[in-house]
Amino acid sequence: MPARRQRMLLAAATSRPENLQRMRWLHESGLTTPLHSALFACLTGLARRGAPVDAITMLWEAQQRGLLHGEFGPADLLDAVSHAGGAPEHWGQRILRRALLRQAEDAAARIEDLTAGEATTVHQLATGSRRALAALSSVRARWHQAVGDTSSGARAAAPTTVQTRVPRQPATRSGPTVRHPARPAR
């Protein structure tokens, strides 16, 4: 079933490549089939370069990346990207939702493994748990971006930028002025 969704995403994104710029929240790592992940990387690469995105250009890009072989030839690629149905955002959100669930399962399994280990210290448990949850938080932030959720939880997961204030004039020194002895004249 996930492979079918991924094929639908590839076909929809090929037919509507202008939507790929708005779908920066979907990474090829979210696709479970390695071939579909590589083909999605081809699509996004073409879109970023401003190259035309169509079935023939996808065929050329896949050939350049070495994705065509005996089990997956040009006819298979053209078939995969030619039957569009639905909007790319719809299929992308479904794939990202599955990636979020998969990442949550992986995080839970990693934390469970840490707690099951008798030799695991409290520090190792805390550090390992934070790492597992950080990966989950990254996918969760992309999910909130994909669905347009602007709740406080989504903003907390998004990276923040720190702004520093640049002083306009050098700071003045408080207190008595510093006096330097005069240089002797020659």
Cα-trace Rg, the chain:
26
CATH of 2-88, one of 1.10.860.10, 3.40.50.300, 2.40.70.10, 1.10.1060.10: 1.10.860.10
Lowest-pLDDT range, 11-15, 22-26, 168-172?
A: 168-172
Q: How much is the pLDDT for 40?
A: 92
pTM tops 0.85: no
For residue 126, what pLDDT band results from cuts at 50, 70 and 90? Answer: very high
Higher per-residue confidence, 83 vs 43: 43
Q: In angstroms, rounded to a whole number, what is the distance separating the alpha carbons of residues 140 and 9? A: 20
Give residue 122's identity as a one-letter amino acid code. V
List the chain domain ranges. 2-88, 100-152
